[in-house]
């Protein structure tokens, strides 16, 4: 074989070698994470996945409309254009809620994510569920290293830092799950992201912002009548994400017929879907409920609620567990601890 032919043959091998090295690196990192119960001493392994061949294949396999310029939150100017009018009502659209939203967004007009996050070449994100599985995990210091930490509802941080960390970039909530003083368990920079499931949720926020008379009807649990959140940190999540979580990820009917209690996605599975649309690396912790036979085991890492509290829930936790398993099998998400799926 001539020297020229040998060089040509060698050049053809380079892409194969790059692929093999990438694959081996990813596999070794994954094995190490799994062998340690999903934990890792640093996030260097997750950052190394950004922009790589495997990350691209992961997003392709999901077939989501992924864009690094994804707009997460509603903004005031959207309502001045005819093409932005929604055809669906809450929780999957804004039809019928436009006037309340205009008033809310006129005060809470900031819809941006902090520039230092927007400009990241690679966004590593972790979604912290409220499940009992994270208790005694000692994941706190690892969780604090992610670029974006998303928490849910009124889950406490103080007193649980060793397991859940104390960094919070965004907290997804709705009125019934709001803490009257967000400053107790969040950082001053935390974005408080309202997930509006119904018109009353927007009405509650409007009444808070304008200091109007509080109307208590329409809630399954009394929301705070006084809310001490920082107005500049309030965001309203675009209902598009809940719509896509239900339709594309969970594949459940949006407005089922012949059902008194429709099934809606939980705040947790919604946050995972948002992270998949916004982040380059998505890890999760604190997800999973006890089996239906285990009625007395606590379902949260805090408090004493058990599976009995989920009896009349608007959520199908087993169906969501199956969706999370699909995402894990695809390599789209990675658990930070050992876990089981509800049955």
Average pLDDT in the chain? 82
User: How far apart, in whole angstroms, are the C-alpha atoms of residue 186 and residue 156?
Assistant: 9
Give the CA angle between residues 230, 176, 142 to the nearest 5°.
65
pLDDT of residue 155: 97
Which tokens belong to 304?
């004493």
Question: Contact at 8 Å (CB) between 130 and 288?
Answer: no
β-sheet with 234-236: strand ranges across: 234-236, 191-194, 170-173, 148-152, 124-128, 281-285, 334-335
Structure confidence by residue, pLDDT tens digits, 110-140: 999 999 999 988 889 999 999 999 999 999 9
For residue 7, is pLDDT > 60? no
CB atoms closer than 10 angstroms to residue 285: 27
pLDDT of residue 169: 98
Q: Among 285, 283, 286, 273, which residue's Cα sits nearest to residue 125?
A: 283
Which tokens belong to 321?
């567990």
Task: Report residue 63's pLDDT band, with 50, 70 and 90 as the boundaries.
Answer: low
Maximal C-alpha separation, the chain? 88
User: How far apart, in whole angstroms, are the C-alpha atoms of residue 30 and residue 258?
Assistant: 45
Residue corresponding to tokens 């997800």: 287
For residue 44, give Cα distances in angstroms to 49, 55, 281, 330. 9, 15, 12, 21
Question: Contact at 8 Å (CB) between 262 and 255?
Answer: yes
User: How far apart, in whole angstroms, are the C-alpha atoms of residue 38 and residue 59?
Assistant: 21
Query: Please, is 2 exposed, middle or buried when counting C-beta atoms within 10 Å of its C-beta (0-12, 13-18, 19+)?
Result: exposed
Question: Contact at 8 Å (CB) between 165 and 144?
Answer: yes
pLDDT of residue 112: 92
Q: Helix or strand or coil: residue 95?
A: coil
pTM: 0.82
Class (C level, CATH) for 49-335: alpha beta
CB atoms closer than 10 angstroms to residue 207: 16
CB atoms closer than 10 angstroms to residue 70: 15
Task: Report residue 38's pLDDT band, with 50, 70 and 90 as the boundaries.
Answer: very low
Residue corresponding to tokens 């008379």: 213
Question: Contact at 8 Å (CB) between 54 and 23?
Answer: yes
Task: Report residue 293's pLDDT band, with 50, 70 and 90 as the boundaries.
Answer: low
Structure confidence by residue, pLDDT tens digits, 195-254: 999 999 999 999 999 999 999 999 999 999 999 999 999 999 999 999 999 999 999 988
Work out the percent of the chain whose per-residue pLDDT is above 90. 56
User: How far apart, in whole angstroms, are the C-alpha atoms of residue 56 and residue 236?
Assistant: 29
């Amino acid at each position: 074989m001539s020297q020229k032919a040998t060089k040509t043959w060698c050049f053809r091998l380079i892409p194969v070698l790059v692929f093999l090295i990438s694959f081996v690196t990813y596999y070794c990192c994954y094995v190490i994470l799994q062998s340690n119960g999903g934990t890792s001493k640093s996030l260097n392994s997750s950052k190394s996945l950004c922009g790589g061949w495997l990350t691209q294949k992961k997003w392709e396999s999901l077939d989501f409309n992924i864009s690094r310029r994804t707009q997460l939150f509603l903004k005031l100017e959207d309502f001045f254009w005819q093409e932005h009018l929604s055809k669906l009502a809450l929780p999957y659209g804004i039809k019928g809620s436009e006037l309340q939203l205009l008033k809310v967004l006129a005060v809470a007009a900031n819809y941006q994510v902090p520039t230092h996050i927007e400009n990241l070449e690679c966004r590593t994100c972790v979604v912290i569920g409220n499940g009992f599985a994270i208790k005694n995990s000692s994941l706190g210091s690892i969780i604090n290293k992610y670029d974006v930490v998303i928490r849910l509802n009124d889950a406490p941080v103080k007193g649980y830092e060793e397991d859940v960390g104390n960094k919070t970039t965004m907290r997804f909530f709705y009125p019934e799950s709001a803490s009257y003083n967000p400053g107790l368990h969040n950082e001053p920079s935390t974005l408080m992201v309202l997930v509006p499931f119904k018109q009353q949720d927007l009405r509650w926020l409007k009444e808070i912002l304008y200091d109007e008379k509080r109307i208590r009807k329409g809630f399954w649990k009394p929301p705070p009548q006084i809310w001490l959140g920082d107005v500049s940190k309030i965001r309203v999540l675009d209902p598009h994400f809940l719509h896509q979580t239900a339709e594309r990820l969970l594949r459940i009917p949006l407005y089922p017929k012949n059902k008194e209690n429709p099934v809606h996605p939980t705040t947790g599975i919604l946050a995972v879907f948002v992270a998949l649309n916004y982040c380059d690396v998505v890890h999760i912790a604190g997800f999973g409920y006890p089996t239906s036979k285990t009625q007395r085991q606590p379902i949260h890492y805090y408090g004493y609620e058990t599976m009995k509290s989920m009896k009349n829930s608007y959520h199908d936790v087993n169906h969501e567990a199956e969706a999370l398993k699909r995402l894990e099998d695809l390599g789209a998400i990675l658990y930070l601890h050992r876990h089981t799926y509800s049955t």
